Amino acid sequence: MLIIHYTGMVSAEAALDRLCDPASEVSAHYLIDEDGTTWRLVPEDRRAWHAGRAFWAGETDINSRSIGIELANPGHEHGYRPFPDAQMKALERLCRDILSRFPIPSHLVLGHADVAPGRKHDPGELFDWQRLAAAGIGLWPDDRPFDLSDFADDMRRFGYENDSAEAVAAFQLHFRPSDVTGIQDDETRTRLRNLIIRAGLA
């Protein structure tokens, strides 16, 4: 799994200090500043403490099964803002490099909010998942209509623990960031079914 986060701190320097401080009990494999500067903090074959309490597709020890990338961004508590082009380009380069060495399926490129709905909201509604998918990293739903099936079953089939409002909102943060309601509307159901079929999970 490849998990993308934002730091939620006022600067990359503050985030770097925290991620490198053993007392903080939090770490990530990489940190990317807004200007594209990239730091490798933990070797990819080592466990980093980036996901915390999380769940995906029946797994709860996400830290042992994923590579974590932190993006410097103040987050919702300190002045959340769009992710600059230089930062996104650096992220694309890094993801391609990681994916060239690890066979991570597209549907397992996720945000922190996906694996910790309600508890976490990063990288948030301003993160450009569609751009990343267009670069061959992760998935994005297309506009094809699909017959709808059981929504709760589809949520679990894709990887979410349940179909709670928090989980639905996490799905929308990733796959419909323009309208995050936490409500199981037809567009959300269709996008989820679309992704399941594209990921070969049907």
Residue 70 annotated in active site = yes
Catalytic residue among 70, 77, 125, 187: 70
Q: Strands of 38-40's sheet, edge to edge?
A: 38-40, 30-32, 67-71, 2-6, 109-111
Element (H, E) at 18: helix 12-19
**Residues in contact with 3: Cβ distance below 8 Å, sequence separation at least 6, in sequence order:** 50, 51, 62, 66, 67, 68, 69, 110, 111, 112, 115
Q: Which residues are catalytic?
A: 70
